[in-house]
A and B are shown apart, each in its own frame.
Chain A
């Protein structure tokens, strides 16, 4: 593989990891606070639809982003209400919201836009597209470093940078602020947090709202940055891959980034590896590469590469002692 095609694969790795990273970080906040969320997929999908519809109706990408985030937060709040206030089963709630999102996006899309569930094709000024700054062209002439810089570092859409900035920010929030300490505590031992006079309910609601907002950005990225509008079921399991990445990274922000980059890289190379002969291994079926994130996560969960310990109070509704 030559230098240029390596660069191209790495470039598409970045693009494909972005939605995974945003969704996995979203799940990180929620699960660290003790709310399991298998509804990442549904929230992303609903946000993608809202962003696509919003951008095409208002003509502004930022309005699309706002709507995407808003709808995803509403989904998050429903999940929060079911898991925190109504003390329901968090897995069932996640499954239900995935169903609602999968059905409602196509139903409403067809009823409102009449294009088989798609939202209208967006023009370039209604999307988040990368623009290369003026000095990028001059940089390109520098050997090796120039192309690396102009292909990999510059010229991405705003949302890609937001995703990667969220990694150190999340680390800082979780491990260096009072809020982060409490958030982690409420996922491990809510009774202790309650005893300290801090509201478990409020903390967990804050977590699901942050989770909703980040999933909203992830969905918006899919609909109005990576493509020019919403497509039927456009998340295609990315929410579950993000969940796998979150577990694979043992619920830690920086490892989450590397897990998402790895899974993004698998996705980017799957297309190129199709039908290609690899040395020693022979021909690898493309379906195997697609399943690899899930297989790796199961192997990790089985305890063969380290050990994945979920937050201790995860999935359990908190009941105050009476």
Chain B
């Protein structure tokens, strides 16, 4: 059924219709709160793209979603549904923070960054390893184990922050602020060259790390032998096994790559913005990654576009909450949920109608020739 539609309908029109429906329902929620939905929509778009500052924030949020979207996508290519990006990103944050705390006072950021990348990705990969191992070797369903691992990660971090990493005299569960070496440079100067004024935004170097990861994931999935075995596993585990691909090894490594990408997400908030580790660095980005991967059709280019869309929702929603007092920041969560619902779970809702429509168009265009031939 998927192949009967032309690609532009499949990749552009269908997601666009789904998004539109999600936004219409979001508009109804705005009406229920007693505000004008058109004004709200304009405030959101203007808040996200109307100023250099808005664009800076939009791209800052998008950075998180690129990482988690890639994380979910790599797992999906292998036929695994990793909904543990949330926990993997949190544990990755621990790795990044430890690197910054240890080295930040002694060496500059460009020496800390490689260590932070290795530790963030490594910690995230380690948190992805166990669910991968349990799926591959013991047959425990990866969806359920990753849900459980999200909560175990949250408890573990709570304990570490409260009992071990919190400096003396500090009230909240968070680490000390890093020394200078633990601060990634902001992109302010760079974008100012292009005339955009993005002062006071947290957009930082990890945006480029995210883009490099996109390229690496593309190379991995479509240009390497291991990527081929990942995709074969995702399409048909039995065919993969027959072709001499080792299923357990492929599943475990794919989950570790997925966890590693999620772990790298923490670079952005921990080393790029807050310069310390707190409990709420991930803020649902792991779950948003599911929607980003789905909407981006698991391709890095699509993921970047979808991540920017969700970044826009985050930033625009924050501005909306600021300008319309009756609407709180929770509106963002509602819109996200509706987008995930309509663009993700209900993505096939309009497919039968569209297929019928295009078949009818096709028949009308083709049938005279067919009759002539007969």
Query: Are B156 and A88 within 8 A (Cβ)?
Result: no
Is the CB–CB distance between B148 and A297 below 8 Å?
yes
The answer on a CB contact under 8 Å between A287 and B143 is: no
Contact with A along B319-334 (1 / 0, CB 8 A): 0000000111011111
B5 at the interface (CB under 8 A from A): no
List chain B residues, Cβ under 8 A from A86: 345-346, 348-349
**CB distance A88 to B348 under 8 Å?**
yes
Q: Is the CB of A88 within 8 A of B34?
A: no
Does A135 reach chain B (CB closer than 8 Å)? no
Question: Are B334 and A104 interface neighbours, CB within 8 A?
Answer: yes
In the complex, chain A residues 185-222 whose Cβ is within 8 Å of any chain B Cβ: none
Is there a chain A Cβ closer than 8 Å to B49's Cβ?
Answer: no
CA–CA, A108 to B287, complex, Å? 23
Chain A residues positioned under 8 Å from B238 (CB to CB): none
Binds A, one of B134-142, B266-274, B366-374: B134-142
A-contact 0/1 string along B338-353, CB 8 Å cutoff: 1011001111110000
Q: For the complex, count residues of B whose C-beta is within 8 A of A.
A: 50
Is B141 a contact of A298 with CB atoms below 8 Å?
no
In the bound complex, do residue A285 and residue B140 qualify as a contact, i.e. CB atoms below 8 Å apart?
A: no
What 0/1 readout, one digit per residue, does chain A (224-249) give for beta carbons within 8 Å of chain B? 00000000000001001001100100
The verdict on A82 contacting B345 (CB below 8 Å), with A95-B83, A287-B155 known, is: yes
User: Are B141's CB and A301's CB within 8 A?
Assistant: yes
Residues from chain A with Cβ under 8 Å of B220 in the complex: none
A302 touching B138 by the CB < 8 A rule?
yes
| B340 near A107: Cβ-Cβ < 8 Å | no
Interface check B29, CB cutoff 8 A: yes
Whether A301 pairs with B140 at a CB distance below 8 angstroms is: yes
User: Is B32 an interface position by the 8 A CB rule?
Assistant: yes
Residues on A with C-beta less than 8 A from B290 are 92, 95
Distance (whole angstroms) from the CB of A194 to the closest CB of chain B: 20
Q: Establish whether residues B148 and A107, one from each chain, have CB atoms under 8 Å apart when the complex forms.
A: no
Report the minimum CB–CB distance from A114 to chain B (whole Å): 9
Known: A111-B33, A295-B152. A247 touches B144 (CB 8 A): yes
Q: Which residues of A contact B152 (CB under 8 A)?
A: 291, 294-295, 298
Q: What's the least CB distance linking B172 to chain A, in Å?
A: 16
B139-186 CB contacts (< 8 Å) to partner A: 139-141, 143-145, 147-149, 151-152, 155-156, 158-159, 162-163
Pair B327/A244 contact, Cβ less than 8 Å: no
Which single residue of chain B is at the shortest CB-CB distance from A290?
B155
Chain A CB within 8 A of B58 CB = no
A100 engages B344 (CB within 8 Å): no
Q: Which residue of B lies closest to A300 (CB)?
A: B140
* Contact flag A95-B346 (CB < 8 Å), given A103-B331, A298-B145: no
Point out the residue from B149, B156, B287, B338 that lies within 8 Å of A95, measured CB to CB: B287
A103 to B327, CA, bound (A): 11
Q: Which of A53-98 contact B (CB under 8 A)?
A: 78, 81-83, 86-93, 95-98
Contact A291 B155 (CB under 8 A): yes
With contact pairs A103-B330, A287-B155 given, residues A82 and B287 touching in the complex (Cβ less than 8 Å)? no
* B330:A107 contact, CB within 8 angstroms: yes
Tell me, yes or no, whether A223 is within 8 Å of chain B by CB.
no
Closest-CB distance, A263 to chain B (whole angstroms): 12
The residue in chain B whose Cβ has the minimal distance to the Cβ of A100 is B337
For residue A99, CB closer than 8 A to chain B, the reply is yes
- Which chain A residues border B287 with CB–CB below 8 Å? 95, 99
- Are the C-beta atoms of A107 and B140 separated by less than 8 Å? no
A88-B148 in contact given A95-B83, A103-B334, A291-B156 (Cβ < 8 Å): no
Compute how far the CA of A308 lies from the CA of B335 in the bound complex, rounded to whole angstroms: 36
The answer to whether B333 and A102 have CB atoms under 8 Å apart is yes
By beta carbon, the residue of chain B nearest A90 is B345
- Give the chain B neighbours of A107 by CB distance below 8 A: 29, 33, 327-328, 330-331, 334
Q: Is A38 part of the binding interface, using a Cβ–Cβ cutoff of 8 Å?
A: yes
- Chain A residues lying within 8 Å of B33, measured Cβ to Cβ, are 107-108, 111
Which residue of chain B has its CB nearest to the CB of A319? B1
Query: Which residues of B in the span 93-139 have a Cβ within 8 Å of any Cβ on A?
Result: 134, 138-139
Chain B residues in 8 Å Cβ range of A82: 341, 345-346
- 1/0 per residue, CB under 8 A from A, across B280-294: the answer is 000010010011001
Max count, chain A CB within 10 A of own CB: residue among B34, B327, B348 = B348
A298-B155 in contact (CB<8A):
no
What is the CA–CA distance of A117 and B336 in the complex, to the nearest angstrom?
A: 19
Interface pair B139/A303, CB less than 8 Å apart: yes
**Which A residue's beta carbon lies closest to that of B351?**
A86
Shortest beta-carbon distance from B7 to chain A in Å: 21
What residue in chain A is nearest B161 (Cβ atoms)? A287
Known contacts: A96-B344, A301-B134, A301-B141. The answer to whether A285 contacts B159 by CB under 8 A is: yes
Not counting A106-B328, A297-B148, A308-B140, a sample of 10 additional A-B residue pairs whose C-beta atoms are within 8 angstroms of each other reads: A86-B346, A88-B346, A88-B348, A92-B344, A92-B345, A96-B338, A97-B337, A99-B333, A103-B335, A107-B33
Binding site for B on A (CB under 8 A): 36, 38, 78, 81-83, 86-93, 95-104, 106-108, 110-111, 117, 237, 240, 243-244, 247, 285, 287-288, 290-291, 294-295, 297-298, 301-303, 308, 310
Return the 4 tightest CB-CB contacts between A and B, nearest first.
A99-B337, A103-B333, A93-B345, A100-B337
What residues make up the interface of B, taking CB atoms closer than 8 Å to A? 29, 32-34, 81, 83, 134, 138-141, 143-145, 147-149, 151-152, 155-156, 158-159, 162-163, 284, 287, 290-291, 294, 326-328, 330-338, 340-341, 344-349
